[in-house]
Amino acid sequence: MAKKPKIAEVDRSLYDFKDDESDFYRIKAGLTEEIVNQISDEKHDPDWMRAERLESLKIYNSLRVPDWGPSIEGLDMDSIATYVRPNTGMKGSWNEVPEEIKSTFEKLGIPQAERESLAGVGAQYDSELVYHNVKEEVAAQGVVYTDLESALTGKYEDMVRTHFMKLVPPTDHKFAALHGAVWSGGSFVYVPAGVHVEIPLQSYFRLNAKGAGQFEHTLIIVDEGADLHFIEGCSAPKYNVANLHAGCVELYVGRGAHLRYSTIENWSKNMYNLNTKRALVEEGGKMEWVSGSFGSHTSYLYPTTILKGDDSHCEFTGITFAGAGQNLDTGAKMIHIGEHTSSYINTKSISKSGGISTYRSAVQIMSGAHGAKASVSCASLMLDAESRSDTIPAIEVDTDDADVGHEAKIGRISDEAVFYLMSRGIAEAEARAMIVSGFADTVSKELPLEYAAEMNNLIKIEMENG
Amino acid sequence: MSDLIMINNLPCLTWNRLDLNRAAVDSRDLEVNTEVPVEFLTLPDGVSCRPVTGAAAAKLLARTPVQVPERVQAGKVPIYHPQRFATGLGGDFDRLASAAADAAGKKVQLLEVRPGAAPARPILWHTEYHDGNRALSRQIIHVGEGASLTLVMDFVSGAEDGGMAGVSTGVILDRGARLDLCRVQMLGSSYVHFDDMGASLGEEAAMTYRQLELGGSRTYAGAQAELIGRRSSFTARMGYFATETAKMDIGYNVVQRGRRTKSDMTFDGALAGHAAKTFRGTIDFRNGSAGSTGDEQENVLLLSPAIVNKTIPVILCEEEDVQGRHGATVGRLADDILFYFGTRGVGMREAQEMMVTARLGAVAREIPDEDLRSRIDAFISGKI
């Protein structure tokens, strides 16, 4: 076999452009009660929300940094600005969005995607949404898709209050508490009972500011028998200082409802991505996660599903690609509570150029989850000996009436496969990229076409310096 | 004085709330009040056994190649908890057990096999405990270049007896050496059992480790194999059966350092009553282990709704050219199997008994001593 070609460093110019933020409002760096109060003032919080923020800050200060995951020593909260507001309010038309910000989202293809294939779009820039719109026919079905701040004080206030940070309480972990203290932006979605939203909604999060954090909160309630596909995208330009993303996603899937939540995460490689995502599924409900993790310096990301209702079901399909300088700790958690619940985790991870990829998961079958079935399948691909790939799956079964299977594999690209493709005139680098794309196929086929194309493009960038 | 010691440390940490990162044990559990004699049949030619001091044993173990700690740290704490000579239960147990045994003047049994020797018959190492015994035994098994040995150790007591039985074994396999080590624990229902094993394998050395943990109220079994020499291999066949309120904590860690090393491990167990079991199994491919393979499979049969079964099969990998796999199946007897038995007039309880016997019997069958195999069958039947 010929010597492997050196795969060059990643060219992220597609995502790596910066806007001037000189006229933005930026809160001073750090995390104090004064800063939390200031954010609350800026956002005109109701009193209960201010109280929750301050309580979360206390919890944050009382909790320790996790001792089990990648190091986050490079993250200094005293250097992070937790709130940066662009010089615009939220608009309902792209024509009203300031030119520079609009141009950013155009480069990322958001307005085009909205025109062609989405039922609604929310676009967040730093700490605030700058654009939100939902198609009239979707709104006419009673679907609510708005920024969370509007929902907080409007007619959905009670609904928000009874669900906000109830699935992910601030006591859950240190960065959930941080989120509770300084959250800003994000979306609220309510799909009424029986309504099927035929085409997806999408929120896109762009963090432009240097040395800042983004803490958007996504709250989705899919009522009984309803159906929704929600897409989340994110990116940021690269800086030489740490940025932080500590978002929170809470998903409520009602009785017999279905929710698919797809994410292509492509943060820049100075980002600490400490995101928390959780879903609660009622009787007969179905939750699907499709997750691609490509960016970030360090990631902690384990979407969790609580299968509370009998006969509820969840599938998690994920891929993680860790390149030079990245330490991506990703996976999923499934908690079976109801009877005859079922879950399926299928993940792929790729490590290259010194990147560290860790698959971490937990499947818990509680004592009352009679007839539960769970299956975990994870595969890791090592592209060189400088990299690292670990698989750390935990299983807990507290009843005899359960069926749990687990399978994990780790290996490298087979020389035979590369040789076969080269014998048909394909260059080695391209052959290796093709094999990696094939390895990722189980994830890309779960995505809408244009997002699958974006994911394949990201793999190509990583593999070929596209 | 009471202190908690941490044993069976997972070589990488995960969520603390899962309570899988380690087992905590009261140091008083390791207090010793007696020495339990070992009964040997005659040693074959080429094999010697003599007592050495703890210091001499440590010196011998220190002559093995240095077991380099992890290059990468996964978290803020070291991913690995290195001992100079790593054993399964880990540094805390090693230090405490050595100190307790040294203070009581207990020596380490050094079993040596001369280079090239290949005894035709296994050595049977029988240890019988009585009610109230609290004893720790330590051995080093050193198999010289090109030599081979089969050693069968069993630990027994009366069915209702209680006490503490600790065993700590260091294994050194020189180039081309072979060791088949069988350990069978059939202690009384109130015994606490510590079973610690560490092995260092040289070039083309091969070790098969057969372990049956069948008795006791609490069992802590830890095994660590360091595949240092190229083409060295480690095969494990473990069976366990926990009933009533028994607790079982198992940790296997195979570190593959040499080129073209191989590990192959299966763990078959059954849980009944209110039994709780934690299993940690790790295959750790280190830089330089190119061409290596590792395979690990756990199958757990659940026989009661009140059991707690925790499993964490881990693969750590910092080498590209390796193939690793692990799998786990956890569940009760499938309906189609029960139906099959039913059509032949076999009820559910009887079918369960047959399946437990079959699973553990698969491990027991390979033990090269007919008398011990019979006693294992009787013990399992008695428990069922």
pLDDT digits (tens, 9 = 90+) for A282-330: 999 999 999 988 889 999 999 999 999 999 999 999 999 999 999 999 9
Residue-level pLDDT at A340: 98
Which chain B residues are closer than 8 Å to A400 by Cβ?
A: 302-305, 307, 331-332
Instruction: Name residue A69's amino acid.
Output: G
Structural domain contains residue B346 = no
Where do the domains of chain A lie?
25-301
Instruction: Please state the rounded mean pLDDT for residues A331-345.
Output: 98
Residue-level pLDDT at B124: 93
What's A84-126 look like in SS3?
EECCCCCECCHHHCCHHHHHHHHHCCHHHHHHHHCCEEEEEEC
Statement: residue A3 has pLDDT above 90: no
Q: Which of the four pLDDT bands, split at 50, 70 and 90, describes residue A6?
A: very low
Structural domain contains residue B362 = no
Q: Which domain holds residue B330?
A: 4-335
Cβ contacts below 8 Å, chain A against chain B, sum to 155
Angstrom distances, CA of residue A403 to CA of A274, A315, A367, B249, B278: 32, 16, 13, 22, 17
B308 contacts chain A (CB < 8 A): yes
Structural domain contains residue B341 = no
Structural domain contains residue B171 = yes
B6 contacts chain A (CB < 8 A): no
Residue-level pLDDT at A23: 64
Statement: residue B294 has pLDDT above 80: yes
Q: Which of the four pLDDT bands, split at 50, 70 and 90, describes residue A213?
A: very high
Tell how strand A213-214 and strand A243-245 pair up. Answer: parallel
Instruction: Please state the rounded mean pLDDT for residues B307-324.
Output: 93
Q: What is the pTM of this model?
A: 0.92
CB < 8 Å from A in window 312-341 of B: 312-332, 334
Alpha helices in A366-405 (DSSP H): none
Statement: residue A462 has pLDDT above 80: no
Helix (H) / strand (E) element for B381: namely helix B370-383
Number of domains chain B is built from: 1
A1 contacts chain B (CB < 8 A): no
Q: Which of the four pLDDT bands, split at 50, 70 and 90, describes residue A4?
A: very low
Tell me which residue in A71, A388, A403 faces B76 most closely, judged by beta carbons.
A71
% of chain A with per-residue pLDDT over 70: 94
pLDDT tens sequence across B128-138: 999 999 999 99
A34 contacts chain B (CB < 8 A): no
**What's the sign of the alpha-carbon dihedral A78, A304, A154, A147?**
positive
| B319 CA: distance to closest CA in chain A (Å) | 5
Helix (H, G, I), strand (E, B) or coil at A430: helix
Would you tell me how many other CB atoms lie within 10 Å of the CB of residue A241? 12
Structural domain contains residue B23 = yes
ipTM of the complex, rounded to two decimals: 0.92
Largest CA distance in chain B: 63
Residue-level pLDDT at B333: 82
Structural domain contains residue B219 = yes
Which chain A residues are closer than 8 Å to B331 by Cβ?
A: 400, 402-404
Q: What span, in angstroms and rounded, lies between the C-alpha atoms of A391 and A372?
A: 24
The tokens describing B362, both together, are 């698969």
Mean of pLDDT over chain A = 88
Structural domain contains residue B359 = no
- Give A300 or B361, the one with higher predicted confidence: A300
Instruction: Please state the rounded mean pLDDT for residues B343-355.
Output: 85
Instruction: Please state the rounded mean pLDDT for residues A449-458.
Output: 72
Statement: residue B81 has pLDDT above 80: no
Structural domain contains residue B358 = no
Q: What span, in angstroms and rounded, lies between the C-alpha atoms of A58 and A56?
A: 5
